[in-house]
Amino acid sequence: MGRYSSCTYFETLYDAVSRIFPAVNRPEACTILRETILAPYDYEVEFNNSSYTQEQIRELIAHELVNMCVDKTPEQTFQDILEGAAQIIKHMNDGYITTEDYRERYEYLEHINKHEFMLFAALAFYRAAGENDTKIYDELILNVIRLREINDLILNYTRDAVEIEVSREEFEQARPIYKMLKSLQNLGYEYNFSPKERIGLGIDHEDDADLSENFGYENWLKRLMLLQLRKEIAMDNISETATVEHTETENAVEDITDRIAALRGIAEKRRFDKNRFRQLEESEHPNPPMTGSAN
């Protein structure tokens, strides 16, 4: 299962079904998803006096998951992702890591990791449905790779720490990454890191096995659904003795609060090193050069 074995963002699949069929309640949406993934090939999913083939619902889910990841346009979404990453690199390397900086980093990583899962799941549903439009696959794979690269950049060039001083060496390493992200925004949606840059930065995902045409996407969906069912059964058993309900957002808030506490995080106003902050904004060239590649 690799990077998705924890089922952290599985609820987004239930959300997609609920958005496609707003007349069904949540338990019904859960049943529709389970039958769509696990039922035999010739099985028809029936609800509200209607029936659908697995392929029909799989395509609807894939399409909805993609829509849920787009703000305005794909191009603007990509711009926002790059800008968010640039700001994280800046704030985590401007001299001092505050609780606000760390929370911003945590929430950004949650955001792009959630979108990565949703786009990968969309790819899996399209493959399982037998979609034959290769442009759809190329676009999804491109954006999954982009999100994995950005995730790696954040992990490689920011510290998983809070309330510490950042060294001059860390700042110097982060500075060209910030400029590179800003340059990518200027180059446009069709550009991405070059193969040489990916390897040099340690963010290469071009040959990830789970993005191969031969990857077992339908089996991946089945494994994921079974893991989620096991998780839900375990939660049901717990709820018999303790009826405490939390939304995904509330759990995320608790997770980051606990994480910050473990890192000795105490909220306080951001303290910038103005000189370093200014250096990140400025460059010898108004538009710093960058080697990019069109995908």
| SS3 of 90-106 | HHCCCCEECHHHHHHHH
CA 240 to chain CA mean position, Å? 33
How would DSSP label each residue in 211-268? GSTTS-HHHHHHHHHHHHHHHHHHHHHHHTT------HHHHHHHHHHHHHHHTT----
Task: Judge contact between 153 and 65, C-beta under 8 A.
Answer: no
pLDDT at 244: 45
pLDDT tens, the chain, 295 aa long: 678 988 999 999 999 999 999 999 999 999 999 999 999 988 999 998 899 999 999 999 999 999 999 988 989 999 999 999 999 999 999 999 999 999 999 999 999 999 999 999 999 999 999 999 999 999 999 999 999 999 999 999 999 999 999 999 999 999 999 999 999 998 888 888 888 999 999 999 999 999 999 999 999 999 999 999 999 988 877 765 554 444 555 566 667 878 787 775 444 444 545 565 566 656 544 444 444 555 5
pLDDT at 281: 59
Of 217, 64, 211, which is closest to residue 141 (Cα–Cα)? 211
| Model pTM score | 0.84
pLDDT at 221: 97
pLDDT at 275: 60
pLDDT at 65: 98
DSSP conformational letter for 206: T
pLDDT at 111: 96
CB atoms within 10 A of CB 127: 21
Taking each helix axis from N to C end, the angle separating 217-239 and 99-129, rounded to the nearest 10 degrees, works out to: 120
Alpha-carbon distances, residue 251 vs 118, 160, 229, 241, 248 (angstroms) = 19, 20, 19, 19, 5
pLDDT at 21: 97
pLDDT at 190: 82
∠ Cα 280 100 10 (to 5°): 105
Gap between the Cα atoms of 146 and 172, Å rounded: 24
